[in-house]
Amino acid sequence: MKRNVAIIGGGQTYHAARRHDVNQVELVNEAVRASLSDADISLDEIDAILLGNMEFFEGTHLTDCWLVDGSGAYGKPGLKITTGGTVGATIVGAGVHHVASGLFDKVLCIGFEKQEEGDTGAILSAVAHPLYGRSVAGAAVGYFAMMGTSYMATWGATEIHSAIVAVKARQNARKNKYAHLKLDITVEDVLNSRMLAYPIRMLDMCPASNGACAMVLADEKTARDRCKKPVWIRALETVHNEQFELDWRDVSTSKPLFSRIGAERIYKRLGVRNPADYFDVFEIYEPATWAELVWYEDLGLCERGGGYKLIERGITEINGDIPVNPSGGVLSTNCIGASAMLRVWEATLQIRGEAGGHQVPREPKRALTTAYGGTNWTVLTALAKDLKD
């Protein structure tokens, strides 16, 4: 990078299915205030504001304009960004690019979603092609269900494996005071929960959450002058798939998928040989249980088809060798426009040693985060405690 970029602060709202206590401006402002306070910086000092959410999820366009009072963007340069589920990570990436380029020194990044205000199924169906596939569109659950049947048929995993993922997420969420679904559940509870789309049951799927996340990014000089625990952004990768190609759900495919390409590139950039050793914690984007197992494999934490053995052996628990989603992940909290940013923010908290109840015990120094957009593209972000990493 041309200039080093650090996360010097951040914050999140509490996340819930109902947030009628706030409108969108107030929701965003809750995260903005938390992030400015955490960074110990005033809004006047912020050079630019980047904001994003899922396109039209609240039934309103131009959210950057609507939410100016709460975002703090009045009189400041900024952008609205909307890239699907990846948006929170894309906003961070855009913030990094603006700071690294030297254009700005301090950028405020905001991701939010108030899912209760919109009909997400109806809006997602408009993402599908009107003449080619729209009639079967409208619910992310169906896509992940197909990933699940393919995964079981290809690798011999069972619904018990996905249920273990569901339990891990919600038990971790119980340790995270901001998480939405804090459920004291067992594998049996998951297997007894209502079937939504075989093999995905209610507890295999993320909730529809309302919430926001905000982060302050800064150049190296500002970070060193102003922040006791800057967390450095070491590398970013964005990779898209082709339009119409749904190949990712056939987990047996040999095609180099966007998620695998992204991992390969970011590892090459950082000189990573063994990602499971190199990174101390992962925050990945898993709207459904099966996606977590596929991420293990796509990130090279195990061999192809080995993801379900990893969860079976407890290796990705908070206390395990490869902690994945100690926060409870997307399965526990999915305010979509904020979800990919929450991955980055939660990884930041882990590196700062400030994750609280869900802190990984072995003092993480390096973290990797992922995102899915439409399950057809990804953004990966690598963070580190020290610049030499």
Which of 117, 220, 264, 321 touches other proteins by CB under 8 A? Answer: 117
Element (H, E) at 218: strand 210-219
Determine phi and psi for 218, rounding to 5 degrees: -145, 160
Work out whether 334 is an interface residue with other proteins (CB under 8 A).
Answer: no
Token pair listed for 129: 């092609």
Tokens 């002058």 map to which residue?
225
Residue 198 lies near other proteins (rule: CB under 8 A)? yes
Which one, 121 or 353, has the nearer CB to other proteins? 121
Taking CB under 8 A as the criterion, the residue among 121, 314, 353, 357 binding other proteins is 121
Which helix (H) or strand (E) covers residue 201, if one does? strand 200-201
Rounded Cα–Cα distance for residues 87 and 80 (Å): 10
Q: Which is nearer to other proteins, 140 or 173 (CB)?
A: 140
196 binds other proteins (CB under 8 A): yes
Question: Closer CB to other proteins, residue 107 or residue 251?
Answer: 251
Residues 128 to 187: which contact other proteins by CB under 8 A?
128, 130-139, 141-142, 145-150, 152-154
Q: Is 331 helix (H, G, I), strand (E, B) or coil?
A: helix
Pull the structure tokens for residue 327: 């926060």
Q: Give me the half-sphere count of Cα atoms (radius 13 Å) on the Cβ side of residue 228.
A: 5
Structure tokens at 29: 């402002």
103/136 with CB nearer other proteins: 136
Query: Is 109:50 a contact under the CB 8 Å cutoff?
Result: yes
Minimum CB separation of residue 61 from other proteins in Å reads 10
Min separation Cβ 70 and other proteins, Å: 17
Q: Confirm if 285 and 291 have CB atoms less than 8 A apart.
A: yes
Question: Residue 357 CB: number of other CB atoms within 10 A?
Answer: 11
A 10 A CB-CB count for 77 gives: 13
- By CB under 8 A, residue 254 contacts other proteins: no
Distance separating alpha carbons of residues 165 and 179, to the nearest angstrom: 16
Instruction: Candidates 126, 225, 306, 387: give the one binding other proteins (CB under 8 A).
Output: 126
The maximal CA–CA distance of the chain, rounded, in angstroms, is 57
When the beta carbons of 38 and 237 are compared against other proteins, the nearer one is: 237
H or E element in which residue 368 lies: strand 366-369
Q: Which stretch binds other proteins (CB under 8 A): 41-49, 122-130, 176-184, 343-351?
A: 122-130
Letters for 53-72 (x = contact with other proteins by CB under 8 A, - = none) are ------x-------------
The only residue of 25, 76, 125, 174 in contact with other proteins, by rule CB under 8 A: 125
Residue 122 or 387 having the CB closest to other proteins: 122
Nearest distance, CB of residue 297 and other proteins, angstroms: 16
Q: How far is the CB of 196 from other proteins (least distance, A)?
A: 6
Cis peptide leading into residue 199 (ω within 30°): yes
Q: Site map for other proteins, 234-253, x if CB under 8 A? A: --------xxxxxx-xx---
The count of residues interacting with other proteins (CB under 8 A) is: 45
Q: Shortest gap between Cβ of 47 and other proteins (angstroms)?
A: 34
> Closest Cα partner for 182 from 207, 160, 162?
207
Q: Residue 180 and residue 170: Cα distance in Å, rounded?
A: 9
Binding track over 5-24 against other proteins, x by CB under 8 A: ---------------xx---
Strand partners, 283: 369
Name the residues that contact other proteins, by CB under 8 A.
20-21, 59, 117, 121-122, 125-126, 128, 130-139, 141-142, 145-150, 152-154, 194-200, 242-247, 249-250
